[in-house]
Amino acid sequence: MSLVLGLEILVALFGMGVVLGFVGAGGAGLVIAVLTLGFGIPIHLALGTSLAAMTFTTISGAVSHFREGNVNVRMGLCLGVFGMIGAFLGTKIAVLIPGSKLHYLIGFMLILSAVIIAYRVYCPNSPLWKKARKQKLTGLAFWGKCLIFGLFVGLLSGTFGIGSTPFIQVVLLIAFGLPLYIAVGTTMLVIFPIAIAGGVGYFIEGALQFWLLAEVVVGLVVGAYIGAKFTRRAPQNILKFIMVVTPAIGGVLLFI
């Protein structure tokens, strides 16, 4: 990789990090779109890079939410461990899918993510979010749900190189009945082990380059730190709009 291309990627990811930090999103899908369409990075390499980068970009968020008491540690770890299995298996599925078809599948997943986010932010009082179970899940019921949903979100992440944040939050809100702020914090913990397993899986498949990963991580982390400073200063309607259109734009770009 040339020095000029490396600097271009670093600058582009910094700008993206500012936007993602502003809206509080992981942005793995958008990273894939930018790397493939903007810089000609092979789709499988972009997948491995974006998912592995989530390992680093979720650490600070998970720690911050834990300090604020916004994490259900037991649930996050259980879902995350089963998610690791799903993510590793997902990498094996992804490498079997031709890059030309994988573009469209990831684009569809990003647009679906945008729809879920839109429903959550614009319909916060929907009966769907109020179907929370009051009783605490224990025993086989708890482990069974962790196994099924953990494998599910892990497979999504590993196969499509995305963090699956909207899907994890829906699972935590509806299947486990967590309050919204606990679901948001716990999601960060769930993604962390999934990203590790996915990154290892893509590395084994030869779809991960550490120089590219370093540039993506540095750009995103520095940009996200700056972007987060503007979140509370922005009008809520603008913040909600950007939260929805960010994954949608990534999805549309992958369909081009």
Digit-coded pLDDT (tens) for 100-136: 889 899 889 889 888 888 887 788 777 766 655 554 6
Please give the share of the chain, as a percent, with pLDDT higher than 90. Answer: 25
Averaged pLDDT, 62-87: 87
Confidence (pLDDT) at 205: 92
For the chain, what is the mean pLDDT?
83
Q: What is the pLDDT of residues 170-220, one digit of tens each?
A: 888 888 888 777 887 888 889 889 999 999 999 999 999 888 999 988 988
Confidence (pLDDT) at 1: 57
Please give the share of the chain, as a percent, with pLDDT higher than 70. Answer: 89
User: What does the chain look like in DSSP terms, one character per residue?
Assistant: --HHHHHHHHHHHHHHHHHHHHHT---HHHHHHIIIIIH---HHHHHHHHHHHHHHHTHHHHHHHHHTT---HHHHHHHHHHHHHHHHHHHHHHTTS-HHHHHHHHHHHHHHHHHHHHHHHH-TT-GGGG---SSPP-HHHHHHHHHHHHHHHHHHHHHH----HHHHHHIIIIIS---HHHHHHHHHHHHHHHHHHHHHHHHHTT---HHHHHHHHHHHHHHHHHHGGGGGGS-HHHHHHHHHHHHHHHHHHHH-
Q: Residue 96 above 70 pLDDT?
A: yes
